[in-house]
Amino acid sequence: MEPLVSVLIPVYNTKYRYLREAIESILNQTYGNFELLIINDASCDNAEDVILSYKDERIKYYKNETNLKLIATLNKGIELSKGKYIARLDADDYCTPDRLEKQVKYMEEHPDTGLIGTLFKTVPDNENSVSNVADIPRCIRYIPGCLLHSSAMMRKSVLDENNITYNPACLHAEDFKMWSDISRVSQAAVLPEVLTYYRQTETGICARNKKYQNKMLMVIALDNMIKDFECDKDKLYSILVKFVKSAPVTQEEFNTAKDFLESVIKSLVPELSAPYNARIIQYCEAILKHFNIIKRTEVVWMNR
User: Each residue of 178-201: pLDDT tens digit?
Assistant: 999 999 999 999 999 999 999 987
Check whether 229 has a pLDDT greater than 50: yes
Cβ proximity of 254 and 124 under 8 Å: no
Task: Give the start-to-end residue ranges of the domains of the chain.
Answer: 5-201, 229-289
Give the whole-angstrom CA distance, residue 196 versus residue 11.
18
- Overall pTM > 0.85: yes
Helix axes 251-268, 210-228, angle to 10 degrees: 70
Q: In what order do the strands lie in the sheet with 34-40?
A: 59-63, 34-40, 5-11, 85-88, 153-155, 113-123, 187-199, 94-95
CATH architecture of 5-201: Alpha-Beta Complex (3.90)
Residue 299 has pLDDT above 60, yes or no: no
| 3 DSSP assignment | -
**DSSP letter at 141?**
T
pLDDT of residue 300: 43
Residues 259 and 267: their CA atoms lie apart, in Å, by: 12
